[in-house]
Structure 1
Amino acid sequence: MRKAQIAALTAASLLVAGGYYGLADALDLVPGPVTVAPMDIAAQPHPTISAPSLPQAQVAGLDPEAPMPSSAALSAMVTSMVADPAMEGASVSASVIDVASGTELLDHSAASGVTPASSNKLLTAQASLSLMGADHTLSTTTVLQGSTLTLVGGGDVLLAEDKGDPTATAGRAGLGDLARQSAEALKAQGVTSVSVSLDDTLFTGPAWNDGWEAGNEAWVAKIQPIMVDISAHHGQGDYPDDPAMEAAQVFRQHLEDAGITVSGEVSRAAAPSGASELAAVSSAPLADILSLSLKTSDNTMTEVEGRLVAATAGESTDFQGASRAVLAQLRKDGFDTSGVTLLDSSGLAKGNKVPGRLLAQILARAAAPDGGTVGRALISALPVGALDGTLDDRLHETQAAGTVRAKTGSLEQSVSLSGVATTADGRLLAFAVVVDGFPAENAWGARAALDNNVVAPLAACGCQG
């Protein structure tokens, strides 16, 4: 069983390297009622995951001569989805793009902005990778001036409490390591007693978005530039009240354990401009961080990524600045952002509006042979159907299982699926389907309608006529 699952992952990864990526469609673990039973998809609230049955024949490379699906056939899939009773009253923006030619094969209100839920994260991921680079790392440092040691947050919110793990993404850098390095540097200067200050001024403005509804505290932490591994709280509803100060207190304890006397309580203040750096620890590369945040649809991590885009671009490092910076980078990359309203980076705000076409275009470029490092990092960060992330409990026993890579999205009245698919005929397609406005009690049924009527048929498509 384990070997079959590993083989499935290996096959999916080889498809990425060759330009073939699986079709993606999944639901995020984000707020919203789930009350309608799934249709014919093997998904349970607490599923027992088994390896999918993969197709026997696997396509081995991007073939521009492979038969192309007809627009009529693709349109019929969306029409079938919309006709499902769970979709009553919904607005749909959908686009399917042939990766080899760049031709849009399906335009179902593709230019209309619709609430994208967590498919919104694709905009942030594209901007982050394009602006900062897949190999970009984040430094957490300490600086000294006089007898004050300042812990400076640099955007790493995956810090280990003690020792870092150089092979891990979450916990690559450790607060204990930073404290011990700082203690050694202090002792080398003859300093054995300090006061400790926290500099979390990299981010400005409110730590909470006014566009997020009450109750979302269970799904996102306050947005600050330093935290003890915040991914450990994902889906648990137990985010700390002040993540940055929690990290500072952990650091303080390790500093004392390393033989440095700390006077008073940890204060908050920007590091003095003339302070000298004592020690630093570095995060995993951005590509790995994005893989973790996209596969699990982590809202906090994505909001931090948006703020880092703003900081790199010279924008204000608040919610508004992050939105401006992300959209500016997308335009710089040649994407049309018409119809976009961006209130946050994660997609929690119902006021976000994103056209399906923009999502499909981002994925089509990433999946193309000339997508480069940015494209490879983006596509490989997406969940794999029936295997991992927010797709682990979906698309079992379909041709999409093990071949799909996609970003999921869900709010109470919104579902979205944005990814890449290789048809049964071997044609590589990028797609996005964004649905909003169905009754809240239909959330589960809407997800099932999307899976059954669009995603699974697209992966099985031999539909030229």
Structure 2
Amino acid sequence: MAGTRRGLVGAGVAAATGIALLAGGTPAHPLAPGAGAAPSAAAARPVLEPAVSTPDGVPSTAGVQAALGALTGDKALGTLTFAIADGTTGKLLLGSGESSPATPASTTKLATSVAALSLLPPQTRLATKVVKGAGPDEIVLVGGGDPTLSGLNPDQIRIGLAPVDGDSAPASLPDLARQTAAALKAANLTTVHLDYDTSLYTGPAFHPFNDGTDIGPMSALMIDEGRVTATDDVEAPVRVPDPAGQAAAKFGDLLAAQGVKVADKPKEAAAPAGAARLGEVESPIIGRLVERALTNSDNTLAEAIGRQVAVAGKQPVSYEGAAAAVTAELARLGLPMQGVQLNDSSGLNTHNTIPPVLLTDLLAMAAAPDHPQLRPVLTGLPIGGFTGTLRLRYQAAQGSADGAGIVRAKTGSLTGVNTLAGSVVDADGRVLVFALMTKGAVDPNAARYAMDRIVTRLASCGCR
């Protein structure tokens, strides 16, 4: 069977999109060496060759229902609503409560990602810059909403064992300091007053469900996503209470190392309109940011991406404004929005609701040939047993090892809620998309593994 199995996105697509892979096909977090290492049990499996289309392998409702049997009734799931659709046509094959609003948790990021990739040009990058201030010896560090701006030098930022490419390399604050210092010295300035501008964002900085680890205060200016250190464990990062102040202080130190003294403590102030630029660095392109947000279920990055949708959609650049902009863009795309209620871009808000069928529609749209700009939604999905939030799932002990390297899906977890939405290729080479949404499970791990067994069964069936 292994010789005939196919995954949705394989090495050819990875090369075309510029995704750097570790051994076993694992894209690592660029600021956390070794993150996402594949378990040894999965490492020997082939990883995700291109999917094939087989006209005689069209799945049917009866076939899917027969394949799943009693798995959807597993008591470990609590209450399950779900949708399973043909990934080629988007046609619903099987569902239960598929149109009923449910708490999506982090599968909300699929909605944010589709809206961003649809609305923003593919080469969109988020710029952090330094401009001249109001006085002759004043400069302003201006945040452009890039939370991946790194406090590391470019040559220290890596994916796995190889340097990142031009599309995925995070911007470097030390590089910005070097540019700025060179411009200041050319103007015979070696002592300056430093301000910093965070005015791009509006509204509260703290998420209503902020815990200081999964997400910290949002700011248009931050380094390393507001973590205490650039190399904090991505599974349990510690966030600083003032990310903009942290970034400005770091920038002042970097200027000093370049021979430019900052006369006093940096303060927050808006940059003058039309001020001359002294230096600028840019984030990875929007598709790479989406991939990183989905693979690692990165809440801070997802909220930042949502705010860029708000900018483009001319909404307030806040939690609520971003949610409104995402909702409006999905409606413009013709997606069914009944029962959809978004309050943030990451899925941390427990008041979000999305029906399972919208999640499968989002995935089918991302795979459709007439929406090539949405492909990072698929390439960013974690791979079962290999990457991101699925790297420790799809194991033999969980009864789902046959899904390792085959399943790609976005996870979601909140208290009492577990969700999974993604794609799988059946034994006939046909892509299926699915959304499984549970609530009320007694044991969250048992619920997750029960969902994984459902998806693994889809992978092993012809479903005709």
Q: Cα offset for 1:235?
A: 2.0
Task: Please name the residue that 1:238 is paired with.
Answer: 238
Q: What are the ranges of 5 or more consecutive residues in structure 2 without an aligned counterpart?
A: 17-36, 158-162
Please give the alpha-carbon distance, in whole angstroms, between the structure 1 residues aligned to 2:43 and 2:8.
Answer: 13
- 2:382 maps to a residue whose letter is P
- 2:53 maps to a residue whose letter is L
Q: Cα offset for 1:56?
A: 11
Q: Cα offset for 1:176?
A: 1.2
Match of 2:53 among 52, 57, 62: 62
SS in 1 for 2:212: helix
Please give the alpha-carbon distance, in whole angstroms, between the structure 2 residues aligned to 1:242 and 1:281.
Answer: 22
TM-score using structure 1 length: 0.84
Match of 2:403 among 400, 403, 411: 400
Provide the aligned length of Structure 1 versus Structure 2. Answer: 422
Indicate how the Cα distance of structure 1 residues 262 and 438 shifts in structure 2: closer, same or farther if over 3 A, else same. same
Tell me, yes or no, if the aligned pair for 1:340 and 1:353 is still in contact at 8 Å: yes
Tell me, yes or no, if the aligned pair for 1:52 and 1:396 is still in contact at 8 Å: no
Provide Cα deviations, 1:398-457, integer angstroms capped at 9, x if missing partner: 332212211111112111111111110221111111112333xx11111111112x1110
Q: What are the ranges of 5 or more consecutive residues in structure 1 without an aligned counterpart?
A: 19-45
TM-score using structure 2 length: 0.84
SS in 2 for 1:354: coil
Task: Please name the residue that 1:25 is paired with.
Answer: none
Q: Cα offset for 1:396?
A: 3.4
Indicate how the Cα distance of structure 1 residues 237 and 281 shifts in structure 2: closer, same or farther if over 3 A, else same. closer
Indicate how the Cα distance of structure 1 residues 12 and 403 shifts in structure 2: closer, same or farther if over 3 A, else same. farther
Please give the alpha-carbon distance, in whole angstroms, between the structure 2 residues aligned to 1:93 and 1:365.
Answer: 21
Task: Please name the residue that 1:333 is paired with.
Answer: 333
Match of 2:75 among 85, 108, 114: 85
Tell me, yes or no, if the aligned pair for 1:54 and 1:399 is still in contact at 8 Å: no
Task: Please name the residue that 1:207 is paired with.
Answer: 205
Task: Please name the residue that 2:417 is paired with.
Answer: 414
Match of 1:131 among 119, 124, 134: 119
SS in 1 for 2:95: strand
- 1:443 maps to a residue whose letter is P
Please give the alpha-carbon distance, in whole angstroms, between the structure 2 residues aligned to 1:127 and 1:101.
Answer: 21
Task: Please name the residue that 1:104 is paired with.
Answer: 92
Q: Cα offset for 1:16?
A: 7.8
Provide Cα deviations, 1:331-365, integer angstroms capped at 9, x if missing partner: 11221211011111111111111111111001011
- 1:347 maps to a residue whose letter is G
Please give the alpha-carbon distance, in whole angstroms, between the structure 2 residues aligned to 1:125 and 1:245.
Answer: 29
Please give the alpha-carbon distance, in whole angstroms, between the structure 2 residues aligned to 1:93 and 1:106.
Answer: 11
Indicate how the Cα distance of structure 1 residues 340 and 151 shifts in structure 2: closer, same or farther if over 3 A, else same. same
Task: Please name the residue that 2:275 is paired with.
Answer: 275
Q: Cα offset for 1:9?
A: 9.3
Match of 1:12 among 6, 10, 13: 10
Please give the alpha-carbon distance, in whole angstroms, between the structure 2 residues aligned to 1:183 and 1:12.
Answer: 44
Tell me, yes or no, if the aligned pair for 1:142 and 1:278 is still in contact at 8 Å: yes
Say whether 1:72 aligns with 2:62.
Answer: yes
Tell me, yes or no, if the aligned pair for 1:200 and 1:224 is still in contact at 8 Å: yes
Match of 1:95 among 83, 102, 114: 83
Please give the alpha-carbon distance, in whole angstroms, between the structure 1 residues aligned to 2:8 and 2:365.
Answer: 23
Task: Please name the residue that 1:156 is paired with.
Answer: 146
Tell me, yes or no, if the aligned pair for 2:86 and 2:431 is still in contact at 8 Å: yes
SS in 2 for 1:123: helix
- 1:118 maps to a residue whose letter is S
RMSD: 2.8
Please give the alpha-carbon distance, in whole angstroms, between the structure 1 residues aligned to 2:419 and 2:188.
Answer: 58
Q: Cα offset for 1:209?
A: 2.3
Q: Cα offset for 1:12?
A: 3.0
Higher relative contact order (CA 8 A, sep 6+): 1
Say whether 1:174 aligns with 2:172.
Answer: yes
Tell me, yes or no, if the aligned pair for 2:197 and 2:268 is still in contact at 8 Å: yes
Provide Cα deviations, 1:97-150, integer angstroms capped at 9, x if missing partner: 212233211231111110111111101111111111332111100010322100
Match of 1:433 among 429, 433, 436: 436
Please give the alpha-carbon distance, in whole angstroms, between the structure 1 residues aligned to 2:195 and 2:49.
Answer: 56
Please give the alpha-carbon distance, in whole angstroms, between the structure 1 residues aligned to 2:102 and 2:154.
Answer: 41
SS in 1 for 2:402: coil
Q: Cα offset for 1:238?
A: 1.0
Tell me, yes or no, if the aligned pair for 2:8 and 2:48 is still in contact at 8 Å: no
- 1:446 maps to a residue whose letter is A
Q: Cα offset for 1:296?
A: 0.8
Indicate how the Cα distance of structure 1 residues 187 and 250 shifts in structure 2: closer, same or farther if over 3 A, else same. same
Indicate how the Cα distance of structure 1 residues 10 and 106 shifts in structure 2: closer, same or farther if over 3 A, else same. closer
State how 1:178-327 maps to structure 2 within 5 Å: 178-210=176-208, 212=209, 216-230=211-225, 232-233=231-232, 234-327=234-327
Tell me, yes or no, if the aligned pair for 1:93 and 1:113 is still in contact at 8 Å: no
Please give the alpha-carbon distance, in whole angstroms, between the structure 2 residues aligned to 1:59 and 1:143.
Answer: 47
Sequence identity percentage: 36
